[in-house]
Amino acid sequence: MLNLTQTLVPCQRVVISEDSLINENSALKRSYEFLMSSSSEIQECLISVWPGDPDEYKSLMDYFFAESFTDQKEACFAYYRGEGPKLHELVSHVQLRDFDTLLMSLFTQVLIRIRS
């Protein structure tokens, strides 16, 4: 008889990098701080239920943002190709604040569901 167990193996992922679409000054402060302070297990839990492939992105912030707000996804890849601006140059400060609020709400809802 096989005795199988499943283990989460934490891995370090880059929350934000120098060449990310989103930087620490982009006004997505709460989302950024949440991811920076989250354990790798929490990050991996979020990734496990989020659409898309995080390996396509230069940072977790870009991944969560682009896969949550798919109308901004092309802007992310345009930036990676050197054909577009950073996020804070693309949308207004009010839009950034709204994105931050919505992203934090999504993080919270996912974690509540995972833990219940």
Cα–Cα distances in Å, from 8 out to 2, 5, 45, 98?
19, 10, 9, 33
Whether the CA torsion 102, 34, 28, 8 is positive or negative: it is: negative
Q: For residue 88, what is the DSSP state?
A: H
Cβ proximity of 27 and 91 under 8 Å: no
Q: Kindly report, residue by residue over 13-36, the tens digit of the pLDDT.
A: 666 566 666 655 566 778 888 888
Residues 63-98 pLDDT 10s: 999 999 999 999 999 999 999 998 888 888 889 889
What is the Cα Rg of the chain in Å?
Answer: 15
Q: State how far the Cα of 116 lies from the Cα of 106, in Å rounded to an integer.
A: 16
Q: What is the pLDDT of residue 93?
A: 85
Q: Which amino acid is at 38?
A: S
Q: Is the pTM of this model over 0.85?
A: no
